[in-house]
């Protein structure tokens, strides 16, 4: 009898543990919504999302520059990181000799392990000075002086490109390896070269999975905070060029929350968090849908 009670009790406890992730997601959504809603009410949803001015001291809260900023740095990160990551994944899945594989694979693992503040420190003391030198010499004449500091969309995008490499490489390689061997054999038997097989058979077959990898990498780039703060310059103004300083949604929260008093200012920061939360949930759902389509088709 006692044993039966114990069996049942342990199962209920484990069931509750399994629910914890769902409970926390709901709690996160609820808490930031409750804290952020007054800001939407006060400013108006559209004014908040599309307002160009962010002046907390005057009580003016528009996060349009930060939305554009997040999109801009993410776009640069994908433009650089996707080709490089995809090529490395193809290399690992298709042509790497074992010795090269033993070098590249741990390198990817190590890249994934480096903390984001360390990427930030690297970007701040290495990439930013390089971009500054570039902006002051080669492009000096054509650039507005305020764009010559090196802290820029470009710096943030490049740091993010490095940070999303492991995500892209690991998922894309898995997807490429998961393709049925017959595809490859059929193509090679028809006299196609190995590269033709990769480009015309394997990559198209793996496309949904690769798209899912890119979408997940995008989510990671949108959500990254510390590395971006350290290299982006953080001016809450619409970015004009690759060399403009930029503030993202994540940095907006991290920069101002530590000193924002309770009331309108911190509510506006929570509202920024709501937008960010919504954005990442949409991205995550998109990745889920893309990979589910793969399952159905396969």
Partner 1 sequence: MSQQQAQKLAFTLLWGAASLTVLILTVILGYILVQGLPQVSWEFLTKEPTEMGRSGGIFSSIVGTLYFVAASLILAAPLGIGAGIYLAEYTHDGWFTSLVRFGIDALAAVPSIVFGLFGYALFVVALKPVTHGWSILSGAFTAACMVLPTLIRTSEEALRAVPQEYREGSLALGATRWQTVVRVVLPAAAPGILTGVILSIGRVVGETAALLLTLGGSLRLPRSIFEPARTMALHLYLVAMEVGAMDKAFGTAAVLVITVLGVNLLATWLTRRHLMRLLR
Name residue 60's beta-bridge partners.
55
Per CB under 8 A, the list member of 1, 5, 22, 57 interacting with partner 1 is 22
Strand partners, 246: 233
Q: Least distance to partner 1 from the beta carbon of 37, Å?
A: 13
Beta bridge partners of 54: 61
Is 235 or 241 the residue whose CB approaches partner 1 more closely?
Answer: 235
Beta bridge partners of 106: none
Whether the Cβ atoms of residue 157 and residue 80 lie closer than 8 Å to each other: yes
Among 45, 46, 50, 118, contact with partner 1 (rule: CB under 8 A)? 118
- Does residue 103 bind partner 1 (CB under 8 A)? yes
Rule CB under 8 A: is residue 17 a binding residue for partner 1?
yes
The distance of closest approach from Cβ of residue 153 to partner 1 in the complex, given in angstroms and rounded to an integer, is: 19
Decide: residue 57, CB within 10 A, 0-12 exposed, 13-18 middle, 19+ buried: exposed
Residue whose C-alpha is closest to residue 198's, from 179, 217, 218: 179
**Segment 149 to 178, residues that bind partner 1, using CB under 8 A:** 162, 165, 169
The stretch near partner 1 (CB under 8 A) out of 14-22, 40-48, 132-140, 171-179 is: 14-22
Among 25-33, 128-136, 137-145, 182-190, which window interacts with partner 1 (CB under 8 A)?
Answer: 25-33
Q: Using CB under 8 A, pick the residue from 170, 187, 250, 267 that binds partner 1.
A: 250
Which residues is 61 bridged to in the sheet? 54
Asked whether the beta carbons of 219 and 283 are under 8 A apart, the reply is yes
Among 45, 46, 95, 130, contact with partner 1 (rule: CB under 8 A): 95
Distances (CA, A) of 80 to 86, 159, 222, 272: 11, 10, 15, 27
Shortest CB 140 distance to partner 1, Å: 26
Q: Decide: is 110 part of the binding site for partner 1 (CB under 8 A).
A: yes
Minimum CB distance to partner 1, residue 190 (Å): 12
Q: What SS3 state is found at 298?
A: coil
> Considering the rule CB under 8 A, would residue 130 count as an interface residue with partner 1?
no
Distance CA 101, CA 91 (A): 9
């Amino acid at each position: 009898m006692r044993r039966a009670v114990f069996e049942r009790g342990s199962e209920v406890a484990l069931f509750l543990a399994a629910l914890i992730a769902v409970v926390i997601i709901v709690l996160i959504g609820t808490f930031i919504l409750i804290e952020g809603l007054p800001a939407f009410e006060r400013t108006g949803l559209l004014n908040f999302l599309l307002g160009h001015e962010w002046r907390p001291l005057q009580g003016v809260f528009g996060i349009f520059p930060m939305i554009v900023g997040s999109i801009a740095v993410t776009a640069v990160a994908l433009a650089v990181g996707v080709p490089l990551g995809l090529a490395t994944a193809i290399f690992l899945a298709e042509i790497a000799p074992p010795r090269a594989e033993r070098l590249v694979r741990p390198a990817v693992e190590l890249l994934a392990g480096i903390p984001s503040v360390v990427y930030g420190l690297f970007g701040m003391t290495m990439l930013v000075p390089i971009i500054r030198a570039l902006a002051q010499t080669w492009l000096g004449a054509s650039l507005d002086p305020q764009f010559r500091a090196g802290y820029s969309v470009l710096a943030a995008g490049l740091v993010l490109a490095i940070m999303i490499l492991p995500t892209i490489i690991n998922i894309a390689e898995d997807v490429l390896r998961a393709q049925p061997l017959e595809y490859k054999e059929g193509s090679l038997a028809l006299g196609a070269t190995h590269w033709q097989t990769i480009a015309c058979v394997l990559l198209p077959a793996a496309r949904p999975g690769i798209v899912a990898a890119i979408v997940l990498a995008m989510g990671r780039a949108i959500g990254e905070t510390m590395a971006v703060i350290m290299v982006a310059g953080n001016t809450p103004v619409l970015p004009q060029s690759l060399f403009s300083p930029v503030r993202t949604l994540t940095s907006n929260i991290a920069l101002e929350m530590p000193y924002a008093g309770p009331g309108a200012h911190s509510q506006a920061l929570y509202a920024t968090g709501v937008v960010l939360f919504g954005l990442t949930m949409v991205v995550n759902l998109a990745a889920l849908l893309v990979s589910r389509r793969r399952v159905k088709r396969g």
